[in-house]
Structure 1
Amino acid sequence: MKVSENKRDGTYDNEVDLVEIVSGGLINKLSSPFDEVEAVRKGFPVNRIKRLESIMRWDRKAFAKFIRTTPKTLERYARDNKHLSPQVSENTLDVARLMNLGIAYFESVERWNLWLNTPHVQFNNSAPVSVLDSASGRALIKRIVLGLEYGFVA
């Protein structure tokens, strides 16, 4: 899935893959699962987080929660020019993949974010974003979105 990169005027036109963005180009469509494992073990460049936050229009606090870290940790890593830990990198990869899927289905970041923030019965009348911080929650969101593609109602 590709999304369009934010231009200065707030519109999008250049096709970019969120997984490729967060991995700093270490992972792309041609990457093998072993390439992915190695990239996650090395840790993703922390500066890539800002690009994903910008494209998704998420604030740092929310995104840090989604990937199971804190804004202060991200700031410290950026200041010290460190890479994300393997666990946080894996969470970031998982979130980026889910974002690719959601944006592909809803056809825009705005509609995807609207759906993520709207309470649904499948999420116990909570918004899907409320479970984005866990692997099980992301799997549930993915299952629901894939169901929507096949005509199920959300």
Structure 2
Amino acid sequence: MKHSKSNRYQEQEQTLLIVSEPPTAAYVAGSGYFEFIQLSRSGIIKKALLNLSRQLSFTLSEIAHVLHISERTLQRYADDAKLSADTSERAILLSQLYQRGTEVFGDLENFKEWMRTPLPAFNYQHPISLLDTTFGFQLIQDELGRIEHGLFA
């Protein structure tokens, strides 16, 4: 049983991992979305979330705010505990956003810096401050598309 938990964590860690390489065409075309749906429904493990948080340089308070969960509640979960479907879905969205940003900016560090810079496109707010709503996620995704195609707002 211990081996099973370890494998499940490794799969989730890979799913939430931000890498510089673009995903494969089949993955982008939609086959990966069923994996994300299943992972959201079954819940990600807290340890995978904490690794994502470290990779993105989010404090526990920041990640809790994005996930709509109190920092204290997040602290109470055991490392191998599964998070709720809603919390898991938001963590996956966050991972996907940073993956996309890494693709557009060519480097995770450049994208992380951009996310913490007040920008005119976001009414001089830091993009990271918009991550508490799905509308904020979409606004950032849209801006990444404009940047990728050389259309600046």
Range class of TM-score, shorter chain:
0.7 to 0.9
Q: Structure 1 residues 19 and 140 mapped into 2: Cα distance closer, same or farther (>3 Å)?
A: farther
Which AA in structure 2 matches 1:116? M
Cα distance in 1 between the residues matched to 2:75 and 2:83 = 11
- TM-score of the superposition, structure 2-length normalised? 0.76
SS of alignment partner, residue 78 of structure 1: coil
Unaligned runs of 5+ in 1: 1-16, 23-27
User: Which structure carries more strand by proportion?
Assistant: 1
- Residue pair 1:43, 1:86 contacting (<8 A) in 2 also: yes
User: Which structure carries more helix by proportion?
Assistant: 2
Q: Identity percentage over the alignment?
A: 26
Residue range with higher mean Cα deviation, 89-98 or 116-125: 116-125
SS of alignment partner, residue 78 of structure 2: helix
- Residue pair 1:18, 1:97 contacting (<8 A) in 2 also: no
Matches within 5 A, 1:28-107: 29=27, 31-78=31-78, 81-107=80-106
Over residues 81-110 of structure 1, what are the superposed CA-to-partner deviations in whole Å (9 max), with x where a residue is unaligned? 421100001111111100000111112222
RMSD over aligned CA atoms reads: 2.3
Q: Structure 1 residues 32 and 76 mapped into 2: Cα distance closer, same or farther (>3 Å)?
A: same
Shift of the alpha carbon at 1:57?
A: 1.6
Q: Which has the higher contact order (CA 8 A, sep 6+)?
A: 2
SS of alignment partner, residue 77 of structure 2: helix
Corresponding residue of 2:136: 137
- TM-score of the superposition, structure 1-length normalised? 0.76
